[in-house]
Structure 1
Amino acid sequence: MAKNVVTTVWKENMQFESDNPSGHNLFMDAGEESGGKGEGFRPKALMLSSLAGCSGLDVVSLLKKMHAEVADFKIEVTAELTEEHPKFYNKVKVDYHFTDSELQPKKIQKAVNLSVTKYCGVMEMFRQFAEVEIEIHLHNLENN
């Protein structure tokens, strides 16, 4: 069974530094309204970045294998927190935006579907506690 270990160390005030199996470190901090300096990532928002990154890596890899690369690709994740403590994301919307002059909608749909239903473990984790909605947006890049 695969195992990941990260170590997170309190630096000062509300700031923490966390390592990663990739060898890169990141800083987390609370906002000023919560006693921090706002000098690092917010932990809950990092979860949304992880969701987008996980699915995005899948989609890019799948599109490459399908010979359907695009000029531009971005993922916007919008999430709602519950009102009561502990506050967690109960509704999450993932918008996939693809831009190219020769979009291949069927291949893009297939790549996103495979990521969402089969490959992205972070997406599966989110489905354990949140209602997750997916939408694909295709933007045609005009040829000049």
Structure 2
Amino acid sequence: MATNIVTTTWKENMQFESDNPSGLNLTMDAGEESGGEGKGYRPKALMLASLAGCSGLDVISLLKKMHAEVADFKIDITAELTEEHPKFYKKVKVDYHFSDTELQPKKIQKAVNLSVTKYCGVMEMFRQFAEVDIEIHLHKIEL
């Protein structure tokens, strides 16, 4: 069984620093409206970045294996929080944007579907507490 260990240390005021199994550190801080100085990532936004990163890594890996690489790829996530505390994401929209001169829609759809339904553990975690909607956008680059 794989285990991850992350240590998070209070630095000052509302600022924390977390290590990572990769050896890299990141800083988290509350916004000024919450007593912080805005000098770091917001924890809930990091969750969305983790979702995009997890699925994005899957998709790029799968597209390479399918010989369907793209010139540009980005993931936009829009998430709606509950009104009551503890506030958590109740609705999440994941928009996958692919750009290339020669897009391969069937392979792109397959790669996204495999990430969403089979490989991305962060996506599965989100589905435990939120309604998650997925949309794929294909942008043909004209030369």
Q: Normalising to structure 2: TM-score of the pair? A: 1.00
Q: Secondary structure at the match of 1:103?
A: coil
- Structure 2 gap segments, 5+ residues each: none
Kindly, what percent of the aligned residue pairs are identical?
A: 87
* Aligned residue number for residue 27 of structure 1: 27
Name the CA distance, whole Å, in 2 between partners of 1:24 and 1:126. Answer: 24
Aligned to 1:104: 104
CA shift for structure 1 position 67: 0.2
What are the superposed Cα offsets for residues 65-120 of structure 1, whole Å, 9 maximum, x if unpaired?
00000000000000000000000000000000000000000000000000000000
1:66 maps to 66
5+ residue gaps, structure 1: none
Secondary structure class of the residue paired with 2:36: coil
1-structure distance, mates of 2:60, 2:78? 21
For 1:48, what is the secondary structure of its paired residue? helix
Matched AA of 1:104: Q
Q: Distance in 2 between matches of 1:37 and 1:107?
A: 44
Match of 1:130 in 2: 130
Q: How many residues are aligned here?
A: 143
2:27 maps to a residue whose letter is F
Q: Name the SS of the counterpart of 1:50 in structure 2.
A: helix
Secondary structure of 2:107 counterpart: helix
List structure 1 segments (4+ residues) > 2 angstroms apart after TM superposition.
none
Q: In structure 1, the residue corresponding to 2:113 is in which secondary structure?
A: helix
TM-score (norm 1): 0.99
Following superposition, the deviation at residue 2 of structure 1 comes to 0.5
> RMSD of the TM alignment (CA)?
0.2
Partner of 1:11: 11
Secondary structure at the aligned position of 1:47 is classed as helix
Quick one: distance in 2 between partners of 1:105 and 1:126?
26
TM-fit CA distance, 1:31: 0.1
How far is 1:9 from its partner? 0.1
